Amino acid sequence: MKNNNNLLEIPNINSKDAKLKKLIYNVDDSLFNKDYYSNEKFEHLCVCSGGTTSSCAKNGFTTLDLRKNYSKIHLDRKSNLVTIGGGVIMGDLVNHLQKNNRSFPIGLSKLPGAGYILTGGVSPLSRAYGLAIDNIESIKGFLGNGTFISLKKNKIDPEKQLIWEAIKGAAPFFSIITEMELKTIQSNPIKVIEGFVNLNELSEIIKLSEEFPENISLQWIYAKKIYIYVFAELKNNLEDKRTEDYLILLEKFPALENQLYENFNEVNFFPKELNLYELNANNHSEVISLLGEDLKNDIPIFIKCLNEIMDNKPNNSCYVASQQLGCKTKKLNNGSSFFVHRKSTWKPWIYASWKKNDLQEKAMALDWIYKSWSKLKSFYPNVHLAQLHNHLNSHEEELTLAFGNRMNELKTLKNIFDPQGILPPL
């Protein structure tokens, strides 16, 4: 890994361009020493597990990069549980598992690290297998006060139960997780129906998708044009028949094409012609993720609102996209995590990008994000805090809408286990 002029080699351009105060690789007692932080201006520790978030490095801040020393992956073939370090990249995880015909519900991108899991983890497989946090069996790491923790599902002392629940969804605010044990799933063939659609077709497909069985999910993105993915896991003959019945209904859309993959790991989301994940080194960006329930009869109003939002975007690098939750994600929580919005069916996100160092364009792009968010709140009133935005004016509102009635518990945990405020602030 390069470290030129104290820069991080990471996917997120905002953080990659940051002038770090210090870059460290080990979690030990010295990490929690006040000497790491400025006495003149208090600064929290940034943590990098994959490097896809704009909060993993900032000007004048110290970054802990977990990727170098916490990147081991081990699959137990008897239990089919996989143990990973806190710096494991999701693409490396599924590549390792595929050697043994196993998989894990990672998201649309293979670039995120373990932070993807700890903040919830929404996958095209989530409707069948739950969120990523629902598949955590045990964790090891450190609380913000330097205390080592080791927790295992179903073997947790009552006094540590709240810590366990908060780790699943809110870990970055009061802990540094260096190891996780995860359930894996059987790797099955995947059918993807994808292509460009217009607004009317998107409306029809969203309506159809809200009746999908758990092994089918819809992902769509509205950039210059609208592109959709209908993702179907093929598991057995009975499910395949029901799946085909739904997928046949999509044949009426002429631009959509079928593609069969041997496993989830082979699927690459969003075509190159959209120019979304070909990282532009000249752009900075921010993204806000929302959560909401079935649109049902509000689909036409939503489509009209979506079109208005896209008509007002400040440049062609801005877009709105969405993933589908539901089924298992609505059933698996039982009050045991800080991902509180279990009734959610949709996770849309608003992405804004601008030429770095162009403050006027940045202001326009962030203004577009906030205005778009305001328009979408009636459909998606809650937030999925997949990225930390303590550097933005929206941080406090995002926290409230992300953690809801568990916000006070999170503040209590923060006060007890991170009294120096070493980790990102609430």
Give the CATH number for residue 126: 3.30.465.10
Residue 145 lies in a domain: yes
Q: Residues 172-199: what's their mean pLDDT?
A: 96
Q: Tell me, what amino acid is at 212?
A: F
Q: Which domain holds residue 53?
A: 4-65
Residue 426 lies in a domain: no
Summarised one tens digit per residue, pLDDT across range 59-106 is: 989 999 999 999 999 999 999 999 999 999 999 999 999 999 999 999
Q: What is the structure's pLDDT at 3?
A: 43
The last residue of a domain, from among 146, 169, 186: 186
Binned at pLDDT 50, 70 and 90, residue 4 comes out as very low
Check whether residue 212 and residue 330 sit in a common domain.
yes
Summarised one tens digit per residue, pLDDT across range 109-123 is: 999 999 999 999 999
Residue 394: which of 283, 284, 288 has the closest Cα?
Answer: 288
Check whether residue 174 and residue 194 sit in a common domain.
no
The last residue of a domain, from among 126, 151, 186: 186
The average confidence (pLDDT) of the chain is: 91
Q: Is the separation of the CB atoms in 183 and 260 below 8 Å? A: no
CA distance 190 to 399: 35
CA distance 221 to 219: 7
Q: Residues 323-348: what's their mean pLDDT?
A: 91
Check whether residue 226 and residue 163 sit in a common domain.
no
pLDDT of 189 over the 60 cut: yes
Binned at pLDDT 50, 70 and 90, residue 212 comes out as very high
Q: What is the largest CA-CA distance in the chain?
A: 66
Q: Which residues of 52-85 are buried (b: 16+ CB within 10 A; e: fewer)?
A: bbbbbbbeebbbbbbbeebbeeebeeeeebbbbb
For residue 292, give both structure tokens: 């909401």
The last residue of a domain, from among 186, 220, 246: 186
Binned at pLDDT 50, 70 and 90, residue 406 comes out as very high
